[in-house]
Structure 1
Amino acid sequence: MDCLFCAVVAGSAHAHRVLDDEVAVAFLDHRPLFPGHVLVVPRRHVETVTDLPPGDVGPFFTRVQRVTAAVERGMGAVGSFVAANNRISQSVPHLHVHVVPRNPKDGLRGFFWPRSRYASEAEAAEVTARLRAAIPEPD
């Protein structure tokens, strides 16, 4: 199998499974930021969140929500960081959502680098207009 996460879903690659149902598989990241760092993947192979069929979005993110609650409770974390890369820095081209337990002063920094401000209200308004125009129509 070419896709590592498809192999995990199929059971032909080892993973420490946290959740396994008809929609998604969640398992420990083998290179965690902190213990309890989990990846949630859809059973169906899709590369990015924009490739996920509309009917699968709700069920998949319901599993992400459940795993997030489990990570926080199970690891005694104050909060969590939930994120997905689309293509850039996506080490495995199969949609996966990272759920990372977080605590105050845990040392996690730099996930969103570098931060800045819009130069003016006009620039912010122009970016807003571009994004609104680019929103696809619902299916």
Structure 2
Amino acid sequence: MTSFIINAHANRSVAPTWKNKPEADSCPFCLIYQHEVTGFVVYENDLVIAILDILPLRPGHTLVIPKVHCARVSELSPEYSRALGEAVTKVSLGLTKALENTALNVVCNQEYAQAVHHVHYHIIPAPQFDVPVSNVKGKGKSPVTKQDMHYAEFEARTVLEDEEGEEMRRRIVAKM
């Protein structure tokens, strides 16, 4: 992921609703895989869950999360590490087929720029520079450079709506 995007998330404050609770009890990812909170699930097995990001950088932005509360990828057990790797590959394949775009960024932050302190991999479709400019959310003119495109996409992020999320989830699942 481009460093300015990561830097924008460094030292981001924790949501007030997550404070003053034991970490796993307030972790949004734990709540999702325990099915206490809903998410757009694109893949799930006994060890991992993959959901669409609710504030996607690009359509299809997916998170792959182990079903154990662990803040650091460096402390994850080999069993969960294997399961994450397999899920990242499976979800990536479904995502590339669903979007007809094989270019992806796969990122896992540890502490730095990690807004949710639970291991998770981001699978983010790369921008498609041959797509008409009108398809870039919030922008009316063509970016001059790839960096301009990255900035424009980052600034144009919006919350994933239910209908949009369900349609994207359905498309990805159909391709896995």
TM-score, normalising length: structure 2: 0.58
Correspondence for 1:108: 150
Tell me by how many angstroms 1:44 deviates: 1.1
> Is residue 35 from structure 1 mapped to residue 77 from structure 2 by the alignment?
no
The structure whose Rg is larger is 1
Structure 1 Cα separation of the partners of residues 84 and 108 of structure 2: 13
Counterpart residue identity of residue 18, structure 1: V
| Over 3 Å off, 4+ runs | none
Q: Please state which structure has a larger fraction of its residues in strand.
A: 1
Structure 1 CA distance, aligned partners of 2:127 and 2:113?
24
Match of 2:73 in 1: 49
CA distance in 1, matches of 2:114, 2:75: 14
TM-score (norm 1): 0.73
Structure 2: gaps (5+ residues) = 1-24, 130-145, 152-176
For 1:91, which of 100, 115, 124 is the aligned residue? 115
**Alpha-carbon deviation of 1:57?**
1.5
Q: Which has the higher contact order (CA 8 A, sep 6+)?
A: 2
The superposition leaves residues 11-35 of structure 1 with CA deviations (integer Å, 9 ceiling, x where unpaired) of 1111100001111100010000111
Q: Specify which structure has the higher proportion of helix.
A: 2
CA RMSD after TM alignment: 1.5
Q: What residue identity is the alignment partner of 2:48?
A: A
Q: Percent identity at matched positions?
A: 27
Could you tell me which residue of structure 2 aligns to residue 66 of structure 1?
A: 90
Aligned length: 109
Q: Distance in 2 between matches of 1:82 and 1:61?
A: 11
Aligned counterpart for 2:100 among listed residues 73, 76, 88: 76
Return the letter of the residue paired with 2:27.
C
Q: Secondary structure at the match of 2:122?
A: strand
| 54-63 or 82-91: bigger deviation | 54-63
